[in-house]
A and B are shown apart, each in its own frame.
Chain A
């Protein structure tokens, strides 16, 4: 462990095991994990029934939960009674009767407005789901637990700010508001530009394309178009149908038909190298397994031996290890 972390000396009560709904439990646990990573003593109150996070997928070959291993790292197992806390994080019900000067309270819409909700529902209501649209079929949820974990990041920042302020307070983190905050451009386009302009704005044409050995993300701005056109080198791309971002948006399928063979004939590495040489922001779709051997992640010591990501932050050039020593998981855990 390095020198004491920013939250050293602060004790935080993690009420994720007592959350009535899964999105809340995941968000609370993410915020609490980060609190532990920043040096707080984090005590996870035991579940009163089944722990909602104990057996969540992905499951590991030994039958345990990969999610629990990642998300619940760094907690003390002590029972919370008789302890004094600087802050507590949980849903409204779990926080009732808890004596902590700072309370970070997760809900769907806000305090007292907490209907049954799934992560898929949050993505649907916030418009994020509609933005994740395959070429065919219905919109798909983002991989993992993005709706809940993003709320966990927000709760972490609120926790940090509340701890620094150092006075009694309650911070409400609405899972719905956080998802809408992430998706601000959709609603802002409508409110600032009008429905018609907003609809045009959504036609960006960014998607993935198959390569010889997987997929790449076709991502580019208007300024990158000449470089992309020249990289692919098909004379049909000089047609007026593809001259502006607007016409390319109107002719997406025809554009794809021209681009696709060039991409399919090359590996992700070849495509990425060619695009990067022209400063086009195209990159490969990498699987979690491939990331375990990623040279950038290895150079920055981002992943532990068991694949678990470390705190995604370097401080003065080093990755900090602020977790309290007695909360470290055993190396073989």
Chain B
């Protein structure tokens, strides 16, 4: 996109195929979109992004298009609904990948291989493609198949062990944050941009294998160094050895975070959402229809943060994307007839 107010974005012309689910996968792709890429989100009629079936998706309606958190996270992406479990669907994905630069996925390990779409095969077939696999534990190793959510990884990465009062239990962020799911997006997007720079120089794509657990431990790097030197830290609540004044304390106007240089309120969700500094910031922006949507964690002077498009309905871009991939209308119609290409799920919402 280029106009008087906005320079071309850093990833202008880059095409991303997004198989990402929930936050870790889908929000990484959204960051690439915000950096200028075109993103095609591909889901299956039996394999929707679980965010489509979440709180606020009204059961009696086309619920799959009405999930607030799905729409919040996936604004601006094109949507294709394609059954990858059907060999005809997997074949169409390969056609789409012929014109793609980046593939983002965070399926359970082994799922892509089950579709005959293993990253190693894709690397051979599309040498310029940058594939990013985001997983709990990484692509290999003895624990690669352990089942985790983000907050499980707070435990297994060392973060929980260092979070909480000295005399109390370790504490995790829980459902609303799932911290490792959030931070991985910030890193994954940068790693993809770096891999594209490498490709700019060499012509070679790459398979990026990103373990959320490793990243969370990386963000505690000094504590691992200290542990290896025999000087491991322990939990100490809000205490800071360099600033004895630091504490969280109940005052007349509510909980406050205090330190020797200042003091701020401890905001809950409502206080945050209504705070002037939050509204003036970029974490949540509005789409062209005025609906709150995921914002940006940085602002380029050349491109003030903005959201240029709302959310596409499931499969809304089936025809356009498949035609761009070289399929004829008759082929697309046959795939629709067979249910391989769809615009609605095969099941109802979860109870």
In the bound assembly, the distance between CA atoms of A279 and B147 in angstroms comes to 6
CB of A240 closer than 8 Å to a CB of B: no
In the bound assembly, the distance between CA atoms of A287 and B280 in angstroms comes to 39
In the bound assembly, the distance between CA atoms of A296 and B213 in angstroms comes to 10
Chain B residues lying within 8 Å of A291, measured Cβ to Cβ, are: 157-158, 217, 224, 227
Query: Which B1-54 residues have a C-beta within 8 angstroms of A?
Result: 7-11, 31, 35
The answer to whether B198 and A6 touch across the interface, beta carbons within 8 angstroms, is yes
The answer to whether B68 and A193 touch across the interface, beta carbons within 8 angstroms, is yes
The answer to whether A140 and B165 touch across the interface, beta carbons within 8 angstroms, is yes
Given the interface pairs A61-B229, A120-B248, A286-B156, the reply to whether A185 lies near B222 with Cβ below 8 Å is no
Looking across the interface, which residue of chain B has its beta carbon closest to that of A68? B222
The answer to whether A316 and B272 touch across the interface, beta carbons within 8 angstroms, is no
Contact string against B for A residues 125-140, beta-carbon threshold 8 Å, 1 for contact and 0 otherwise: 1111111111111111
In the bound assembly, the distance between CA atoms of A201 and B220 in angstroms comes to 29
Given the interface pairs A185-B177, A193-B55, A286-B158, the reply to whether A120 lies near B246 with Cβ below 8 Å is yes
The answer to whether B297 and A173 touch across the interface, beta carbons within 8 angstroms, is yes
Nearest-neighbour CB distance to chain B for A205, whole angstroms, equals 8
Query: Which A58-76 residues have a C-beta within 8 angstroms of B?
Result: 58-61, 65-67, 69-71
The answer to whether A146 and B301 touch across the interface, beta carbons within 8 angstroms, is no
CB of B345 closer than 8 Å to a CB of A: no
CB of A242 closer than 8 Å to a CB of B: no
Chain B residues lying within 8 Å of A296, measured Cβ to Cβ, are: 137-138, 141-144, 213
Contact of B10 among A132, A154, A161 (CB under 8 A): A161
In the bound assembly, the distance between CA atoms of A271 and B100 in angstroms comes to 43
Query: Which B188-241 residues have a C-beta within 8 angstroms of A?
Result: 189-191, 193-198, 200-201, 206-211, 213-215, 217-233, 235, 237-238, 240-241
In the bound assembly, the distance between CA atoms of A215 and B149 in angstroms comes to 17
In the bound assembly, the distance between CA atoms of A136 and B169 in angstroms comes to 10
Q: Interface segment, A77-85, A91-99, A162-170, A228-236?
A: A162-170
Looking across the interface, which residue of chain A has its beta carbon closest to that of B261? A116
Chain A residues lying within 8 Å of B55, measured Cβ to Cβ, are: 193, 197, 201
The answer to whether A288 and B223 touch across the interface, beta carbons within 8 angstroms, is yes
The answer to whether B232 and A153 touch across the interface, beta carbons within 8 angstroms, is no
The answer to whether B215 and A157 touch across the interface, beta carbons within 8 angstroms, is no
Nearest-neighbour CB distance to chain A for B131, whole angstroms, equals 10
Contact of B176 among A61, A162, A185, A309 (CB under 8 A): A185
Looking across the interface, which residue of chain A has its beta carbon closest to that of B207? A316
Contact string against A for B residues 143-168, beta-carbon threshold 8 Å, 1 for contact and 0 otherwise: 11011110111111111111111001
- For the complex, count residues of B whose C-beta is within 8 A of A: 140
CB of A274 closer than 8 Å to a CB of B: no
Interface residues on A, range: 35 or more
Given the interface pairs A207-B174, A208-B160, A276-B146, the reply to whether A130 lies near B277 with Cβ below 8 Å is no
Residue among A121, A207, A279 facing the most chain B CB atoms (10 A cut-off): A121
Nearest-neighbour CB distance to chain A for B215, whole angstroms, equals 4
In the bound assembly, the distance between CA atoms of A221 and B159 in angstroms comes to 21
In the bound assembly, the distance between CA atoms of A120 and B233 in angstroms comes to 18
Residue among A146, A161, A189 facing the most chain B CB atoms (10 A cut-off): A161
CB of B244 closer than 8 Å to a CB of A: no
CB of A43 closer than 8 Å to a CB of B: no
The answer to whether B207 and A317 touch across the interface, beta carbons within 8 angstroms, is yes
In the bound assembly, the distance between CA atoms of A284 and B5 in angstroms comes to 51
Chain A residues lying within 8 Å of B154, measured Cβ to Cβ, are: 217
The answer to whether B266 and A129 touch across the interface, beta carbons within 8 angstroms, is yes
CB of A280 closer than 8 Å to a CB of B: yes
CB of A195 closer than 8 Å to a CB of B: yes
Chain A residues lying within 8 Å of B298, measured Cβ to Cβ, are: 154-155, 157-158, 171-173, 178
The answer to whether B227 and A292 touch across the interface, beta carbons within 8 angstroms, is yes
CB of B115 closer than 8 Å to a CB of A: no
CB of B346 closer than 8 Å to a CB of A: no
Q: Interface segment, B77-85, B88-96, B249-257, B321-329?
A: B249-257
Chain B residues lying within 8 Å of A50, measured Cβ to Cβ, are: none
Contact string against B for A residues 179-215, beta-carbon threshold 8 Å, 1 for contact and 0 otherwise: 0111111111111110101110110101111100001
The answer to whether A144 and B141 touch across the interface, beta carbons within 8 angstroms, is no
Given the interface pairs A70-B222, A182-B177, A184-B284, the reply to whether A292 lies near B228 with Cβ below 8 Å is yes
Nearest-neighbour CB distance to chain B for A79, whole angstroms, equals 26
Would you list 8 pairs from A and B whose C-beta atoms are within 8 A, ordered by A residue?
Answer: A120-B240, A130-B267, A156-B190, A160-B194, A182-B177, A202-B174, A215-B155, A296-B213
Residues of A near any B CB (own CB < 8 A):
4-8, 34, 38, 56-61, 65-67, 69-71, 109-110, 115-118, 120-121, 123-146, 149-150, 153-165, 167, 169-174, 176-178, 180-193, 195, 197-199, 201-202, 204, 206-210, 215-217, 219, 221-223, 276, 279-289, 291-292, 295-297, 299-300, 302-303, 305-309, 311-317
Interchain residue pairs A-B with the least CB separation, the first 9: A307-B228, A143-B162, A157-B190, A204-B175, A124-B257, A180-B283, A58-B226, A186-B269, A190-B273
